[in-house]
Amino acid sequence: MRLNEQHIPIGELKAETWLNTCLPDALPPHVSTKGIFYSNYSEDLLEVEAAGDGSRRVTLSRDGLFHLLPEALFVDENRLQDPKKKNMPFKPEKERILNFFVPFDTEYFKTSLELDKTISDIERGTVDLLLETLCGIDMRTVQNPLVRKAAPFLLQAAEIRGDFTLLSRLMTAISGYNTDIQPVMRRVTLSSGRRISRTEIRVVFNIPGLSNAEYNRQYDAMGEFVAFMAEWFFPADMPWQYAIKDKNHPFKLDGSITLDYNTYL
């Protein structure tokens, strides 16, 4: 999908879902349909661009009303059978026909957009109710935005727990920062004085370019996030630790280093 001359991969996400999620406050869009067999071969939402009245114009790969009608109603069948004209672009008269159907396609899409938003709101309320009933988590009291994003995955905790490859990808997607999760061996001293080796989980977020103050704020926020993930998705009683690193920062003894962030300590 193209947005402001930039390609954004959206995979199989519905156009309505992307617009309601990423442009929730935008005016209802004007719609252009390309009539491509989109379900298997292309993204549903092809392009989003600003329209002159402050709304958005969206281009869909799906069929519009015109594409659902017999083309012979509008175009001479003999011309369609002419191999020299088979792959020619739309003639001006066909473009005018397509433009005629734009208001109808737009109204249908607006209805579909509102329906998708309503379903999303119902699902969100249902998830919140399930989280409170099954997990004892009241989403109204959760302030950390990363925890709020992660909480709905509790409904699939049985499938996710202990899969650190999947958890690494999940925490990367939620936080927006590349996240590495690795088991490490640590030597610890028990209360009896005996030293043993045990496995701990080390979570590392790669967040470049933080100042000391920014690092401290991020460290606290990430700590709440990791504690939540560890409680629900790490193996029971598995010790863990976390760090924020700037892996690309050159190590120099100057005023820009922060202990345990862009140093080797």
> Does position 49 have pLDDT exceeding 90, yes or no?
no
Per-residue pLDDT, averaged over 23-36, amounts to 78
> Does position 6 have pLDDT exceeding 80, yes or no?
no
**C-alpha closest to that of 108 among 64, 71, 67:** 64
Domains, the chain: 2-122 (no CATH), 146-245 (3.30.300)
CB 9 within 8 A of CB 20: no
More confident residue, 131 or 123: 131
CB 147 within 8 A of CB 175: no
The full DSSP string for 10-33 is -TT--HHHHHHHHSTTSPPPEEEE
Q: Which of 42-51, 109-118, 214-223 shows the lowest per-residue confidence on average (mean pLDDT)?
A: 42-51
Average pLDDT of the residues of the chain: 80
Is the entire prediction scored with pTM above 0.95? no
| 240-253: pLDDT as tens digits | 999 998 876 655 55
The SS3 call for residue 204 is strand
In percent, how much of the chain has pLDDT > 70? 81
